[in-house]
Amino acid sequence: MPAIHRVLLVDDDLPFCDAVTRLLAHHRVATTAAPAAALAMLAEGRFDLAIIDVRLWPIDGFELASDMLRRKLTVPVLLVTGSDVARVREMADDLLLRNVSDVLAKPLGRAELEAAVERAATATSSERITRRALAAAIAPPRPRTP
């Protein structure tokens, strides 16, 4: 049985939150739709990992991950998106979001989600950066738009 992690899920889609909570049933999952509440909860130091939707309001998932870095909140982040995963990963890299461990596509499968949670919660910051750099290096080249 994998370790039990304390996960904060930040998403305003309640059915998605319910689904993720069920998929991660053996972990301790807390949810919030508000980025400000997420920052306050993370500042208390009770979480091993944050799963953050890219599309949030009034700030998006990139801004929330960036705010976490500015506040020295070292919790690893999994970004989730319903759009182009490669583009979201590139944007996180462009923004130097070292706390982003991975980007996952919605809808999430149990095995994929469990593996990502375990990798993110147990990896050091340098391991996360190295893994993302390697993934970027072996990714197929993106077509250039004029």
CB 108 within 8 A of CB 82: no
Its pTM stands at 0.83
pLDDT at 97: 86
Q: Specify if 111 maps to a domain.
A: yes
Express each pLDDT in 64-97 by its tens digit: 999 999 999 989 999 999 988 989 988 988 888 8
Query: Across residues 125-136, what is the average pLDDT?
Result: 58
Domain presence at residue 96: yes
Could you write out the three-class secondary structure of the chain?
CCCCCEEEEECCCHHHHHHHHHHCCCCEEEEECCHHHHHHHHHCCCCCEEEEECCCCCCCHHHHHHHHHHCCCCCCEEEEECCCHHHHHHHHHHCCCCCEEEEEECCCCHHHHHHHHHHHHHCCHHHHHHHHHHHHHHCCCCCCCC
Span 120-129, average pLDDT: 69
Q: Is residue 37 domain-resident?
A: yes
pLDDT at 125: 55
Angle between helical axes of 85-94 and 61-70 (0-180°, round to 10):
30
Residue 27 has pLDDT above 80, yes or no: yes
According to the model, what pLDDT value does residue 13 have?
A: 95
120-137 mean pLDDT: 64
Instruction: Say if 108 falls within a structural domain.
Output: yes
User: Quick check: is 57 in a domain?
Assistant: yes
**pLDDT class of 124 with cuts at 50, 70, 90:** low
Report the share of the chain in percent with pLDDT over 90.
Answer: 65
How many separate domains does the chain show? Answer: 1
d(CA 98, CA 69): 8
32 part of a folded domain: yes
Instruction: Report how far apart, in Å, the C-alpha atoms of 141 and of each of 6, 72, 79 are.
Output: 36, 33, 22
CATH of the domain at 78: 3.40.50.2300
Look up the domain containing 53 and give its range.
6-138
